[in-house]
């Protein structure tokens, strides 16, 4: 594949995928439980710092292996093809189509608010959106990247407008931030509130690691990828802090009941009766950018697996005219559309969140293995090593304990289904040697 993605587009991919509907829903629960603007700010800043640690580590990993596949490639090189296959098995069967379906239905639901769509109409719109975004990405990397870049800039512009409109016209009340440090009465116990806030913030930042999946199409990857990951995470952190600040400024914490009502209340303060419709439109733009980024990045994993000989061989074939992994993109779109029609994707995806965090932890841990084997010849090395990866791994362990403790059945079943990929690998691919790196075109 041709290298045609620069720093600006790569950073836009990070921001575009990460900032979705979560920024409109997560601050409500965090603010209500933490009961203090200071604690809300500290959680966002702490999670932003941790995400930056992880991004810096992924920067080195992507510089070491600047090829399509991201986490699949790093796990394959560190632990062998079986572990890489199980990651890809999970991504293809569950996480990628499930996340795609969830984003598409979320977008269609908010669009349906203004269009007065029925439940069937929402599903039709969701499937149509998946197909259109997939076709854009099949049509060419430049077109797909341009679409994501445009949606990201519009998204950031709209969020900046919300902040400046509310603060500039003094539509809220700065007294909502007092007391700034002291927690409100009836707030949840601090330890539990911090744990819940960290979980919410962690998943609000989720997705920055997907940029590595496009490493095979990034110009000067050893320089571009670390910079794009760093810029992207910093921008996301700033957006989350300012958006949360705007929401608290517009709506007193005492009036917070849920994420949906919190956003609706803020919209009403900003735009009056039309607030709900306007906010729904902003959410549609935010989710569309995230959906486009997922549809672009995720299929590179199946393409890399097929290229290695551990997936359907024809998926490694690039489109003759557009030079994109068209069949991998089409596969993801079809599976996601099936899940939209079935309507059970949210529960399915929730069973595999624990395993996703495990794979992220294993990926960061691989950095220590690579450093022991060879720290020379790599054009980018993680700043602050080994403190940087250790700090992120501490967060990962903390998240795993919380996730397993809150729902051990989900964690166990998700891990068990992923483990089933191991006998599949042994039965179908164990005796196949990884094919020579490269692609074919037809």
**Can you give the pLDDT at residue 108?**
93
SS3 440: strand
Cα distance between residue 268 and residue 248, in whole Å: 14
% of the chain exceeding 70 in pLDDT: 95
pLDDT tens-digit map of 88-126: 999 998 899 999 999 999 899 889 887 889 999 999 999
Confidence band of 436 (pLDDT split at 50, 70, 90): very low
> Is the pLDDT score of 439 beyond 50?
no
pLDDT tens-digit map of 322-368: 999 999 999 999 999 999 998 867 777 888 899 999 999 999 999 99
- In this structure, the chain runs to a length of 442
Q: What average pLDDT score do residues 191-212 get?
A: 91
Cα distance between residue 181 and residue 192, in whole Å: 17
What are the boundaries of each domain within the chain?
A: 7-432
How distant is the alpha carbon of residue 273 from its chain centre? 32
Cα distance between residue 208 and residue 52, in whole Å: 10
Cα distance between residue 2 and residue 142, in whole Å: 10
Q: What is the DSSP string of 194-226?
A: HHHHHHHHHHHSTTGGGGGGGGGGBSSHHHHHH
H/E element, 27: helix 22-34
> Is the separation of the CB atoms in 288 and 111 below 8 Å?
no
Cα distance between residue 173 and residue 177, in whole Å: 8
pLDDT tens-digit map of 378-407: 667 899 999 999 999 999 999 999 999 888
Confidence band of 19 (pLDDT split at 50, 70, 90): very high
Q: What average pLDDT score do residues 25-33 get?
A: 85
Phi and psi of 382, rounded to 5°?
A: -60, 120
Average predicted confidence (pLDDT) for the chain: 90
> Is the pLDDT score of 433 beyond 60?
no
Rg of the chain over Cα atoms, rounded to whole angstroms, equals 21
Fold for 7-432, please state it.
Amino acid/polyamine transporter I (1.20.1740)
**Can you give the pLDDT at residue 438?**
42
**Can you give the pLDDT at residue 335?**
95
Among the listed residues 343, 278, 301, 153, the one whose alpha carbon sits nearest the alpha carbon of residue 214:
301
**Can you give the pLDDT at residue 349?**
81
Most confident of 2-11, 249-258, 278-287: 2-11
Question: b/e for 89-114, b at 16 or more Cβ within 10 A?
Answer: bbbbbbbbbbbbbbbbbbbbbbbbbe
**Can you give the pLDDT at residue 381?**
84
Q: What is the DSSP letter of 180?
A: S
How distant is the alpha carbon of residue 53 from its chain centre? 16
Among the listed residues 62, 384, 395, 379, the one whose alpha carbon sits nearest the alpha carbon of residue 232:
62
Cα distance between residue 404 and residue 354, in whole Å: 7
Confidence band of 275 (pLDDT split at 50, 70, 90): confident
Cβ burial of 352 (10 Å; 0-12, 13-18, 19+) is buried
Confidence band of 294 (pLDDT split at 50, 70, 90): very high
**Can you give the pLDDT at residue 114?**
79
> Is the separation of the CB atoms in 104 and 130 below 8 Å?
yes
Cα distance between residue 41 and residue 243, in whole Å: 11
For residue 3, what are the CA distances in angstroms to 147, 214, 311, 412? 17, 10, 24, 40
């Amino acid at each position: 594949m041709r290298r045609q993605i620069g720093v600006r587009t790569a950073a836009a991919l990070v921001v575009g995928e990460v900032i979705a509907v979560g920024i409109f829903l997560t601050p409500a629960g965090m603010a209500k439980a933490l009961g203090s603007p200071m604690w809300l700010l500290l959680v966002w800043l702490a999670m932003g710092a941790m995400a930056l640690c992880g991004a810096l580590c992924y920067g080195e990993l992507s510089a070491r292996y600047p090829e399509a596949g991201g986490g699949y490639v790093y796990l394959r090189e560190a632990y062998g093809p079986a572990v890489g296959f199980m990651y890809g098995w999970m991504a293809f069967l569950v996480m990628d189509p499930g996340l795609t379906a969830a984003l598409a239905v979320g977008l269609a639901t908010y669009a349906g608010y203004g269009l007065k769509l029925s439940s069937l109409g929402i599903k039709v719109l969701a499937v149509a959106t998946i197909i259109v975004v997939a076709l854009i990405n099949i049509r060419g990397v430049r077109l797909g990247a341009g679409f994501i870049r445009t949606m990201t800039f519009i998204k950031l512009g709209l969020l900046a407008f919300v902040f400046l409109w509310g603060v500039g016209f003094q539509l809220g009340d700065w007294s909502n931030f007092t007391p700034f440090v002291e927690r409100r009465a009836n707030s949840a116990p601090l330890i539990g509130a911090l744990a819940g806030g960290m979980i919410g913030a962690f998943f609000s930042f989720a997705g920055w690691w997907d940029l590595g999946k496009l490493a095979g199409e990034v110009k000067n990857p050893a320089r571009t990828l670390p910079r794009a990951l760093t810029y992207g995470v910093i921008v996301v952190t700033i957006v989350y802090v300012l958006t949360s600040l705007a929401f608290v400024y517009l709506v007193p914490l005492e009036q917070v009941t849920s994420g949906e009502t919190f956003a609706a209340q803020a919209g009403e303060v900003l735009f009056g009766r039309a607030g709900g419709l306007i906010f729904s439109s902003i959410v549609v733009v935010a989710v569309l950018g995230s959906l486009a980024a997922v549809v672009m990045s995720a299929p590179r994993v199946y393409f890399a697996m097929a290229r290695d000989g551990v997936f359907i061989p024809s998926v490694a074939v690039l489109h003759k005219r557009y030079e994109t992994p068209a069949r991998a993109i089409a596969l993801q779109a079809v599976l996601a559309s099936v899940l939209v029609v079935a309507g059970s994707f949210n529960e399915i995806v929730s069973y595999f969140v624990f395993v996703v965090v495990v794979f992220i932890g294993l990926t960061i841990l691989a950095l220590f293995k690579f450093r022991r084997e060879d720290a020379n010849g790599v054009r980018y090395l993680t700043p602050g090593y080994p403190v940087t990866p250790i700090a992120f791994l501490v967060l990962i362990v903390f998240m795993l304990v919380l996730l397993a403790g809150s729902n051990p059945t989900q964690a166990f079943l998700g891990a068990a289904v992923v483990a089933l990929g191991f006998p599949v690998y042994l039965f179908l691919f164990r005796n196949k040697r990884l094919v020579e790196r490269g692609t074919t075109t037809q």
